[in-house]
């Protein structure tokens, strides 16, 4: 099988958020069927639905994979578990790590377990802004809509700002 483009969203709002996202990205790179990983900058963002929790740190990664979408989901779950995310997940609660599949080539999948493209993509600035850093003219599969179009029409009014890491020793 030829390698296809895969786009993932990573987020964390518990513990060392930078380390959580970096470790998740490295763990994905260790999987020999996920390669050529490019990461956006990290972005600080306000929580979107449950605002009574710490701010999130988010990034988007673009990579290549020969894995099928459900196999990617299995890898993601293993990485999340490895980093300490509970198997039972309450929606919109604080988390050590959250990894979502945004796009897997031009796949369109709608099952109870997995929906691609990610169904909430167009209403989440914390995903769209880092995505646009990597691929501003990316077209949503089977449409002429770009990521920049989605940003222009995004109803999300939360704050999403570039995160500057503390490099002082």
Q: Averaged over 9-29, what is the pLDDT? A: 95
96: DSSP letter:
S
The pLDDT assigned to 169 comes to 45
User: What is the band of 60 on the pLDDT scale with cuts at 50, 70, 90?
Assistant: very high
Average pLDDT along the chain: 91
Percent of the chain having pLDDT more than 90? 73
The pLDDT assigned to 109 comes to 95
Kindly tell me if the per-residue pLDDT of 47 is higher than 80: yes
Domains of the chain: 4-162 (3.30.70.560)
Kindly tell me if the per-residue pLDDT of 141 is higher than 50: yes
Q: Averaged over 87-106, what is the pLDDT? A: 86
Rounded to two decimals, the pTM is: 0.93
How distant, in Å, are the alpha carbons of 39, 53, 59, 70, 91 from that of 63? Answer: 9, 30, 13, 16, 27
Cis peptide before 117 (omega within 30 of 0): yes
Kindly tell me if the per-residue pLDDT of 150 is higher than 90: yes
Kindly tell me if the per-residue pLDDT of 16 is higher than 50: yes
């Amino acid at each position: 099988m030829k390698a296809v483009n895969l786009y993932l969203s990573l987020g964390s709002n518990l513990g060392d958020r930078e380390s959580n996202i970096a470790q998740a990205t490295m763990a994905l790179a260790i999987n020999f069927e996920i390669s050529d990983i490019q990461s956006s900058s990290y972005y600080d963002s306000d929580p979107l639905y449950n605002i009574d929790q710490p701010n999130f740190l988010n990034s988007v990664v673009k990579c290549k994979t020969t894995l099928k979408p459900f196999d990617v989901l299995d890898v993601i779950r293993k990485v999340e578990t490895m980093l300490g995310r509970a198997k039972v997940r309450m929606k919109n609660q604080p988390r050590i790590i959250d990894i979502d599949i945004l796009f897997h080539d031009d796949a369109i999948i709608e099952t109870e377990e997995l929906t691609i493209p990610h169904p909430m993509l167009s209403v989440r600035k914390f995903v769209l802004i880092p995505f646009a850093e990597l691929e501003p003219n990316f077209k949503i599969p089977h449409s002429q809509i770009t990521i920049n179009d989605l940003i222009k029409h995004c109803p999300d009014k939360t704050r999403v700002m570039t995160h500057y890491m503390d490099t002082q020793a």
